[in-house]
Amino acid sequence: MKIRTKLLITFLTITVVPITLIYIAIIGLNRYQEKTFSETYGLAEEVNLTSGASIRVFSHLTESIQREIDRELQKNPEIFLDLEYLADLNQRLAEKYSFLLILKNNELIFAEPPGGLLDFGGEISGYVGSHTPEGWGNYLDHKTEHLIKQREFTFADGDTGKICLITNVVDMLPEVRNMVFEMFVTSALILFITGAILTVWVYKSILSPIGRLQEAAMQIRDGNLDFTIESEDDDEIGQLCQNFEEMRIRLKESTEEKIQYDKENKELISNISHDLKTPITAIKGYVEGIMDGVASSPEKLNKYIRTIYNKANDMDRLIDELTFYSKIDTNKIPYDFSKINVANYFKDCIDEVGLELEARGVELGYFNYVDEDVLVIADAEQMKRVINNIIGNSLKYMDKKHGIINIRILDVGDFVQIEIEDNGKGIGAKELPYIFDRFYRTDSSRNSSKGGSGIGLSIVRKIVEDHGGKIWATSKETIGTEIHFILRKINT
């Protein structure tokens, strides 16, 4: 859910939901209090406590006593001279926030209001002239906010009587006060609960992810990348968390690559130091021998010079490999792709390396199984580097007195497959998957007489893959190794 949608829901929740709930609560409380009010005061019908018609509400309070007075007036009006009865009637009116006044010939004969007539403060004589012989008249004293209900009747001796029921409409009834209090408490609870739910929701959906991001940023600042940022939401913050997690993963990979790169560079420097020291030491020794006159005969001098020349060539090859490695590391290998006839190209390569192998006493076998017109797109110079590096690696680990290297060119559908096989000491199954990794050497001893920077086969793999091909190896210990790589043919 998008944050924009969450904000809209939050706004509606803050405004519409509390108003709706408060309205429902008020309606429910009002109905409950109206029912309670009617039952408490014995009203025949329910009253509306929130209608604002307080006079009608208080008028309902004394209706039951009005009906009792009407019955007594029909049977025995003289009972309203009975002080005991009037006191009982007045007591019941007091429970309804009212009191009783009896007048005879406009003279007050009974008045026991709570607190006396001073609380009322009205002039009874002001209402004497208004009479309703057959019913009750309702009047409101606006000065004191008392409701006056009166009825006239005639005593047995012919005197005129008046009954007044006076209700104090200023004092609120407990039920009304309770209802208002309950409405206030309910409204406050609704607002509090709604706010609490919204706060928890916003915290979980917005603030909590932001907190996790802040903690993650501090972890990265401190150099710790071994953690995970989890986000279940798909909103903007959730996507930000996902992007942050991807950034963390890339940073970790970059850091690990840098650590590995630094390690490889240190290893490369160590290899260079070792591999340069060996031929330099040999050259230095032979030069000292010449200077000291050890090479006394022309044959011995020629041997020393040839050895120096070969060691210099080894150093040149090593420096060339290192220079090419630096280009690999920056992806700046200078390729010059062109169409190459496979048969002619590999025949020329065999003629070139054959002389060196013959000088070393290694038998070279060449087998071409492709047609004369098969073409590939390749860089001739870099492909020659591939062949030389593979053959050079085979010679380095050749442990047989009679060495053999076979080169086969095969047609495998859309590809040309080149196989270079030797009868050297072979490679163990555990080491075989790593021989194309940079700086990997099956003989890891720094005192190894084999030398080499450990980047020859990694250069081979890089060149072959840049040609769109693939390279792999098979080997059996003590029997020999085969290097296979393929190049895509040009469809003519």
**pLDDT tens readout for residues 256-305:** 888 877 877 777 677 777 777 878 888 888 888 888 888 778 888 888 88
Query: What pLDDT, on the 0 to 100 scale, is given for residue 126?
Result: 46
Q: What is the reported pLDDT for 445?
A: 42
Rounded to an integer, the average pLDDT of 354-375 is 90
| Greater model confidence, 95 or 325 | 95
> How large is the average pLDDT for residues 240-263?
83
Q: Summarize the confidence of residues 461-481 as an average pLDDT.
A: 92
Per-residue model confidence (pLDDT) at position 77: 87
On the question of pLDDT at 216 being above 60, the answer is yes
| Across 6-10, 311-315, 410-414, 450-454, least confident range | 450-454
Q: Alpha carbon 58 to chain centroid distance?
A: 63
Are the C-beta atoms of 92 and 65 separated by less than 8 Å?
A: yes
Q: In which band, very low, low, confident or very high, does the pLDDT at 482 lie, cut at 50, 70 and 90?
A: very high
Q: Which tops the pLDDT comparison, 108 or 114?
A: 108
For range 422-444, the mean pLDDT: 81
Higher pLDDT, 308 or 210: 308
What per-residue confidence (pLDDT) applies to 322? 75
| Closest to 63 measured CA to CA, from 18, 114, 98 | 98
pLDDT for the residue 447: 39
pLDDT-based confidence at 130, cuts 50/70/90? very low
pLDDT of residue 329: 65
Instruction: Give pLDDT, residue 3.
Output: 58
Task: With beta carbons less than 8 A apart as the criterion, state whether 427 and 386 touch.
Answer: no
